[in-house]
Amino acid sequence: MKTGIRPAPAILVYLSVLSCVSPAKAQSENPFIGKWTATWENKDGRSLQANVVITEAGGTWQTLAQRKLDPCVGKEAQLEIKSVSPKEMRFTARHSEALMGCKDTNIKMQMQPDGTVTGSRGQDEMRFTKN
């Protein structure tokens, strides 16, 4: 008994459709992917901003203020994503890889019920705005 569809081509079509759907599904699982501006006040009450780019593989963090006394501020640092859920993401900005002697920082982003994104960097509370 012959059928109109051969098994091998049907499987190949199915697998190619599946491979197109899987990356789209993976991207939608991280609502934090994109370009952001982070704002916060440091312990001295000084307002600071950073440009943050989050990708599937990591991203970058760059504080906009450049302090002459601290060569670590203003250097672009790679991000290492630690965990992601629909409501929260934790990552480390690898400042130590951008410049020897700089300390890495752990950052948390949280999606609030009203759609705003807040977070923290050590003791500093942050607000994130998507660009």
Domains of the chain, first to last: 34-130 (2.40.128)
What was the pLDDT predicted at 73? 85
Q: With CA atoms as reference, report the closest residue to 130 among 26, 52, 59.
A: 52
Question: Which of 29-38, 61-70, 87-96 shows the lowest mean pLDDT across its residues?
Answer: 61-70
> Where does residue 5 fall: left (phi above 0), alpha (psi -120 to 50 degrees), or beta otherwise?
beta
Whole-angstrom distance, CA of residue 74 vs CA of residue 96: 13
Mean pLDDT of 42-70: 88
| Helix or strand (DSSP H, E) at 97 | helix 95-98
- For residue 58, the SS3 value is coil
Question: Which of 8-12, 22-26, 53-57, 123-127 shows the lowest mean pLDDT across its residues?
Answer: 22-26
Q: With CA atoms as reference, report the closest residue to 127 among 102, 108, 101, 100.
A: 108
Average per-residue pLDDT for the chain:
84
What was the pLDDT predicted at 84? 96
Whole-angstrom distance, CA of residue 36 vs CA of residue 39: 10
What was the pLDDT predicted at 8? 55
